[in-house]
Homo-oligomer: A and B are copies of this chain.
């Protein structure tokens, strides 16, 4: 399914075959939570370079409901996205509900934040819902280990996730429709403990998944911990399978991940930060609401070829932001996604030409690395 094309240090250049076409890795996936990347049409997503969209099982099962999407031909048809779709399992969102959910061996029961209904999500149900959505890449249902966690807590959580992964694997294989082309990815857990991460990986490898994700990072831990966990885990991950770092991150995080051998990323940062008036540019982050942009006839990023930068000044974007105009959020989102995708395209090219290290070290000189908590 995943084919290596080139390597530079630990950084990998490859391509992933999915039910909706071939994807070039390493790559970044925008979040289309409710069946839409906020403020972007599918045509605009293609224009900024999006290859794969992420859909959220938790959100879509509550609104509009996965059966309705299935009846309308699946998520691709529903939202008119012709490229591949990866769906998360709902595990992370359910876990994020805190007091509103109860976790047992069987699965999770929670109160719908939309209407208060009692809803159950199990490994089997998560796979069924992702199948109804018509996902190309299906994620196992897991428990995200809290941060911080004692080794005992992290082990207990990781082992529960492993048992759930086995149930997902069975459900996915045994209930496969004819000509099933969906890929089921396992998710490595284990908190900040490298021995637990390795045990998780070994448990998952016994099931021979076509791809492996790394979950439970970017959950509040220091950056150094994330980097250490990745550096210790990645050399043990199977070389022939794609590696997906979930929910990460800043542009610098992406470069760090690629340098260690990660192939896939997703994060709400480019879209959410864009809506909130923060742009990623070749010279660092720009807070467009800042008064210094009020009369600026410069584009957001002089080195950027996106629709926003080719047409509009910072003064105009500043004005739209001040007035709370939708177009501001739309144009900032387009720019940020273009920035992320273009960054990944440059990393891919540098791996092919053996210049990854040079590019990576040159990228963020003088940058103020943006805060995730925008």
Contacts and interface: CB of A to CB of B under 8 A. Distances in A.
A315 interface: yes
A39 B326 contact: yes
Given A63-B322, A68-B294, A71-B295, A316 B35 contact: yes
Given A63-B319, A63-B322, A71-B295, A38 B327 contact: yes
Given A72-B313, A294-B64, A315-B64, A326 B323 contact: no
Contacts of A73: 297
B327 A41 contact: yes
Interface in A318-363: 318-320, 322-323, 325-327, 329-331
Contacts of A68: 294-295, 315
A80 B297 CA distance: 13
Interface string A208-232: 0000000000000000000000000
A34 B323 contact: yes
Report the copy number of this chain in the oligomer: 2
Contacts of A36: 320, 325-327
A143 to B, nearest CB: 27
Nearest to A40: B327
A80 B309 CA distance: 12
Contacts of A43: 307
B319 A35 contact: yes
Contact of A322 (B64, B71, B72, B295): B64
A311 interface: yes
A160 interface: no
A38 B326 CA distance: 6
Contacts of A41: 307, 327, 330-331
Contacts of A295: 68, 71-72
Contact of A39 (B35, B63, B311, B327): B327
Given A326-B326, A329-B326, A78 B316 contact: yes
Nearest to A34: B323
A315 B38 contact: no
Given A78-B315, A330-B330, A325 B34 contact: yes
A223 B325 CA distance: 32
A315 B294 CA distance: 41
B327 A72 contact: no
B39 A312 contact: no
Interface string A10-36: 000000000000000000000000111
A79 interface: yes
Contacts of A71: 295
Nearest to A312: B80
The 3 closest A-B pairs by CB, nearest first: A36-B327, A64-B319, A39-B326
Given A41-B307, A64-B322, 5 more contacts: A34-B320, A35-B316, A41-B331, A64-B319, A78-B316
